[in-house]
Amino acid sequence: MDLTPGVPDLGAFPRTAWLRAERMVLADLESAAFGYGDPAGTPALRRAVATWLARNRGVNADPEDLIIVAGVAQAIGLVAQVFKQRGIGEIAVEDPGSLGSRQHLQLWGMQTPPIPVDAAGLRVDVLRESNAPAVMVTPAHHFPTGVVLEGERRRDLIAWAAAGGLIIEDDYDAEHRYDRPPVPALRAMLSDQVIYTGSISKLLAPSLRIGWMLPPAEYKEELIGRKRLADLGNAALPQLTLAHLMTSGELERQLRLLRRRHRTRRDTMVRAIHTYLPTATVHGAAAGLHLTITFDDGTNDVELAAAALREGVKTHPLSWHCQLPHAPGLVLGYAARTPTEITEAIATIAHVK
């Protein structure tokens, strides 16, 4: 039973709607569209994403300023390459924070100084003291703790950026919320110093490898150049199919379905934790596709995750996502599992603990 965080309900992929959209796209597609296109993405998808961001995230974007990428992972790599070329060798990261994002930055030679995250979000005072020129954040739903960057911290981070800092905003899990209203994207508050990134991976499927980046104007052409060298641009047909789903309202319907299903699975996991792991503290239940639990009894979370895996349950030890000392815990994805599987998995973890 795979409780890996960040995996959506792959069984809910809208196959019928996707096939219908793809047929409609192919029926009207000119032969020239099968050639090499704009490495920044098809105009149709860039328009659709701009409309989606304005409606769902409060971000006003000119379609011409958007770059379609192969997920947030590629966006991170492109930004790191451009920063390195400009002499920027350091991007601060949240701690706890995504191990995968940190690895991508380090792959391209970036130093990743850790900035602690507490109940209000990123410690901007520590960021300021670090003298890091840039920071990568997940302010809408912090990975992995689920904390939302609260208002005063947001204003402080925006002030830090307005004074010259650069923000890479991963709008992680922003659409998946259950018990709280949406929070605005940082990009909606300050465009000149925020490189905004998002993707379709958590809404449809990671295998589509479609994401987007909205950089400040001064970085746009360099990033497009790096994208061109990386792969000449994403495949056009999936872009056009996704654009059709976005403009037809099908993606909105899919999101509503997913929210109902995910809420049920989230509630099941919370109940199972209270039943089988009553001393664990639950974090991040109001939104997202995963929960984080922490222990105050000295549990070795790496050993616990390994023991659970031997019994057929896969999860992430929280320590994987930490550079600084932190309470031990587990990061538990629930979106891809049925309620019965979730209950069995938590019971198994409690058994091996």
The domain that holds 338 is classified in CATH as 3.90.1150.10
Question: Where is the domain boundary, 248, 266, 287?
Answer: 248
What lies within 8 Å, CB to CB, of 220 at 6+ separation is 65, 67
The DSSP-derived string for 141-168 is S-TTT-----HHHHHHHHHHHHTT-EEE
pLDDT value, residue 214: 98
Query: Quick one: 244 and 257 in the same domain?
Result: no
What is the span of the domain harbouring residue 341? 252-352
> Residue 281: inside a domain, yes or no?
yes
Query: Quick one: 150 and 228 in the same domain?
Result: yes
Query: Quick one: 266 and 331 in the same domain?
Result: yes
> Residue 10: inside a domain, yes or no?
no
> Residue 36: inside a domain, yes or no?
yes
> Residue 3: inside a domain, yes or no?
no
pLDDT value, residue 208: 96
**Mean pLDDT computed over every residue of the chain:** 95
pLDDT value, residue 116: 98
Q: What is the CATH number of the domain that holds 238?
A: 3.40.640.10
pLDDT band at residue 162 under the 50/70/90 scheme: very high
> Residue 6: inside a domain, yes or no?
no
Q: At what angle do helices 15-28 and 250-276 cross, to 10 degrees?
A: 160
Extract the tokens encoding 146.
Answer: 């689920």
pLDDT band at residue 174 under the 50/70/90 scheme: confident
Query: Quick one: 85 and 184 in the same domain?
Result: yes
Query: Quick one: 182 and 105 in the same domain?
Result: yes
Query: Quick one: 169 and 61 in the same domain?
Result: yes
Contact by Cβ (8 Å): 209, 237: no
Question: Where is the domain boundary, 248, 271, 293?
Answer: 248
* pLDDT over 80 at 182, yes or no: no
209-235: pLDDT as tens digits = 999 999 999 999 999 999 999 999 999
How many CB atoms lie under 10 A from the CB of residue 58?
Answer: 14
Question: Where is the domain boundary, 248, 276, 306?
Answer: 248
64-91: pLDDT as tens digits = 999 999 999 999 999 999 999 999 999 9
> Residue 137: inside a domain, yes or no?
yes
Q: Can you tell me whether residue 327 is helix, strand or coil?
A: coil
Instruction: Please give the tally of structural domains in the chain.
Output: 2
> Residue 4: inside a domain, yes or no?
no
> Residue 7: inside a domain, yes or no?
no
Instruction: Give percent of the chain with pLDDT exceeding 70.
Output: 99
* pLDDT over 90 at 287, yes or no: no
Q: Dihedral sign, CA of 263, 266, 268, 274?
A: negative
Query: Quick one: 94 and 240 in the same domain?
Result: yes
